[in-house]
Amino acid sequence: MIGRILGRKRILSDREAELRAREQELLSRLARSLEHFGPDVSPDDLKRFQEAREQLTGFFLLVVAGGV
């Protein structure tokens, strides 16, 4: 329905979808790197990283929902 309202088949353009996928991949790679360091990474740093990931996802949803 949203696509019909905006005159598009998708919410994100190809470029936007590619950028979002790259961002998610980079965040996943960083998460794996942090896990690799194990006890050398403070729990506070891990918590802040996870919060940042959640905020980015939430921001994306807010922009998409707010754009309608």
The per-residue pLDDT for 47 is: 86
Residue 57: is it exposed, middle or buried by C-beta count within 10 angstroms (0-12/13-18/19+)?
middle
Residue pLDDT, tens place only, 13-62: 889 888 888 888 888 898 888 888 888 888 888 888 888 888 877 766 66
Residue pLDDT, tens place only, 2-12: 555 556 567 77
The per-residue pLDDT for 65 is: 60
Burial annotation 8-45 (CB, 10 A radius, 16+ → b, else e): eeeeeeeeeeeeeeeeeeeeeeeeeeeeeeeeeeeeee
Where in the chain does DSSP place strands (E)? none
